Structure 1
Amino acid sequence: MKTTDFIGLNAEQSKKEIELLNSLLANFQIYYQNLRGFHWNVKGNRFFVLHAKFEELYNDAIEKVDELAERILTLGGVPLHSYAAYAQAASLKATENVSDGDECLRIVLENLSVLINQEREILAVAADNGDDGTQDLLTPYISEQEKLVWMLCAYLNK
């Protein structure tokens, strides 16, 4: 028995979604690890503010990682679950040795741009498949991330 049989989705039609969701999962894992690095390594007079903000962001990202993996399973797929698989599937790049707060925030903004665009692409495929569950999962992600982009731009005075 397949979950998709019970939730009314066609397993074959869901394959493209699974592929895209796995790519998004990989990007979220890279985003998460970048945030961890920023949290650990940021320096300067805004250390306390940025250190706390990066922790908030990586805690949010790791929750989304779990939700994405569970959605992939719900659709009948297997979530990527190794660093090698993430590195191969992700379009985001791991960031190392960045300690300047403004540079960290610029990278976060670039990462968010990739995630938002990828989520929009998945929304379109999910809509074509009649997959309300995936749409309901990703729509709040986009709203939250767009607001975060605005706030980070305001913080950087851009």
Structure 2
Amino acid sequence: MATKTKATNILGLPVEEAVMIAAELNILLSNFQVYYQNLRGLHWNIRGKRFFQLHVKFEELYNDAQLKIDMVAERVLTLGGTPLHTFEDYIANNKLKVGKDISKDTEAVGLIMDSLADLLKIERVILEESDRINDEGTNSMMSDFIKEQEKTMWMMKAWSEEEI
């Protein structure tokens, strides 16, 4: 009796699982778009004695988020999916707190730390699923994102514990 083999895509990944990972990546894409927009708002609205330090840091973070957004969208395409691209989709899939009119430094850093923690949860699910089907492209991307974001969280935590 012959065993039935699963259909694979051009990458050699099982089609059904690749479609599921692309859907998870679209959730990540949506949340990164909200994170990006939060960072833009923080960059524009930050006030106080740490303005110069944080204004530059927030710009660095939103530029990095913009690159990651593009990488995630391209991975969705690589897996055979279609990247989400409307605000309606982003809001429907968002799991992050939306920051509005935040100008206080500690509140801004807190929002970033909370957002990164939520992004890490999504990325770890994708990492586990991509590992299960040997999707090294997605797996490697998630590992890189996780490593960078954990370091950013450590730095934000160190900043937030600073003595004045």
Taking structure 1 as the reference length, what is the TM-score of the superposition? 0.95
In the alignment, what sits opposite 2:139? 135
Mapped pair 1:11 → 2:18: no
In the alignment, what sits opposite 1:150? 154
Moved more, 85-94 or 26-35: 85-94
Instruction: Point out the structure with max Rg over C-alpha.
Output: 2
Distance 1:154 1:133 in 2: 32
After superposition, the C-alpha distances for 1:9-33 in whole angstroms (9 at most, x for unaligned) are 1221212111110000000000000
Picking from 80, 89, 93, the partner of 2:93 is: 89
State the Cα distance separating 1:74 from its structure 2 match.
0.4
The DSSP-based 3-state class of the residue aligned with 1:6 is: coil
In the alignment, what sits opposite 1:22? 26
The DSSP-based 3-state class of the residue aligned with 2:33 is: helix
Letter in 2 for 1:13: E
In the alignment, what sits opposite 1:71? 75
1:44-59 superposed matches below 5 A: 44-59=48-63
After superposition, the C-alpha distances for 1:44-65 in whole angstroms (9 at most, x for unaligned) are 0000000000000000000000
Distance 1:122 1:115 in 2: 11
Question: Are the equivalent residues in 1 in contact too, given 2:97–2:111 (CA < 8 A)?
Answer: no
Unaligned runs of 5+ in 1: none
In the alignment, what sits opposite 1:98? 102
Query: Identity of paired residues, percent?
Result: 46
1:109-124 superposed matches below 5 A: 109-124=113-128
After superposition, the C-alpha distances for 1:57-110 in whole angstroms (9 at most, x for unaligned) are 000000000000000000010110011110001111321111001100000000
Letter in 1 for 2:51: F
Distance 1:37 1:21 in 2: 24
State the Cα distance separating 1:5 from its structure 2 match.
3.0
Distance 1:73 1:85 in 2: 17
Taking structure 2 as the reference length, what is the TM-score of the superposition? 0.92
Unaligned runs of 5+ in 2: 1-7
